[in-house]
Amino acid sequence: MALSSSHRVTMNDGNTIPVLGLGTYGPRSVPKSEGEMATKVAIEAGYRHIDGAFLYENEKEVGQAIQAKIADGTVTREEIFYTGKLWNTYHRPELVRPALEETLKNLQLDYIDLYIIHTPMSFKPGKEKIPMDENNKVISDSVDLRDTWEAMEKCKDAGLVKSIGVSNFNRRQLEMILNKPGLKYKPVCNQGRSKFSPCPRRPSAGSHC
């Protein structure tokens, strides 16, 4: 039986997120088909939050699992909460929407529920997810995260995503977004490796979001 609607947290934009979610990351040694099977089993067991990322290289398999469970009547699209992540090589503003659209295509979805900037580190755009130079050092890219955030806001306005947030940001990086002139939407979360931190609707709750 699925968790009830009471097992959700209301984010600062009014949307709610299930407190229990399935992380879809797996080592490369694990067959991608295992991710599809795990997602199906999780949905059957009552999980409604599926946490994925472009970096995990299994969006298609996870999407197939979601579509299968919708098709067999286990869930409706509205009952599934999907979190996707913008990878570091797509931080340039003009690349944000194409990256999200690729994720949507992989998942066979018209929208996702939450899209977050995976990390504040920007990498050189290209086919390599982690571009390296001749000295085996990561090739970074100079991108103002405020511009990246503005592109995220446009994706929300376009109806491609319901909520937007960040991940692995420190206080300075988060404040840079929050103090951005013309800020339209505050991040709904700052996701970390060990926990998911929703940003409350009331500033007095002790959050920067």
Domain membership of residue 209 (yes or no) is no
In a domain, 50, yes or no: yes
Q: Which of the four pLDDT bands, split at 50, 70 and 90, describes residue 2?
A: low
- Mean pLDDT over 132-150 rounds to 97
Report yes or no on 1 lying in a domain: no
Confidence of residue 4 (pLDDT cuts 50, 70, 90): low
Cβ neighbours for 33, distance < 8 A, ≥ 6 positions apart = 61
Count of domains forming the chain: 1
pLDDT of residue 32: 86
H-type alpha helices, the chain: 32-45, 59-71, 93-107, 145-157, 171-178
Give 154 or 27, the one with higher predicted confidence. 154
- ∠26-100-96 over CA atoms, to 5°? 115
What CA–CA distances, in Å, run from 145 to 88, 162, 176? 11, 20, 8
Is residue 3 assigned to a domain?
no
Share of the chain above pLDDT 90, in %: 83
What's the mean pLDDT when you consider all of the chain? 91
Compute the CA torsion angle 140, 146, 151, 154 (nearest 10 deg).
170
* DSSP class of 64: H
Q: Give the span between the Cα atoms of 177 and 183, in whole angstroms.
A: 8
Distance CA 200, CA 209 (A): 7
CB-based contact 37:30 (threshold 8 Å)? no
Contact 119, 193 (CB under 8 A): no
Within a domain: residue 208? Answer: no
Given a cut of 70, whether residue 99 has pLDDT beyond it is: yes
- Band of the pLDDT at 30, cuts 50, 70, 90? confident
Residues of the domain holding 66: 8-203
- pLDDT (average), residues 135-163: 98
100-112 pLDDT tens trace: 999 999 999 999 9
What digits encode the pLDDT tens for the residues 169-208?
999 999 999 999 999 999 999 998 544 444 444 333 334 4
pLDDT at residue 195 in the model:
44
User: Would residue 193 count as lying in a domain?
Assistant: yes
pLDDT given at position 96: 99
pLDDT of residue 207: 46
pLDDT reported for residue 201: 43
User: Is residue 178 domain-resident?
Assistant: yes
Where residue 27 sits, what CATH number does that domain have? Answer: 3.20.20.100
Q: How confident is the model at residue 33 (pLDDT cuts 50, 70, 90)?
A: confident
Greater model confidence, 154 or 33: 154
pLDDT for res 3: 54
Residue 204 pLDDT? 33
Q: Which active-site residues does the annotation give? A: 56
Neighbours of 196 (CB within 10 A): 20
Residue 14 lies in a domain: yes
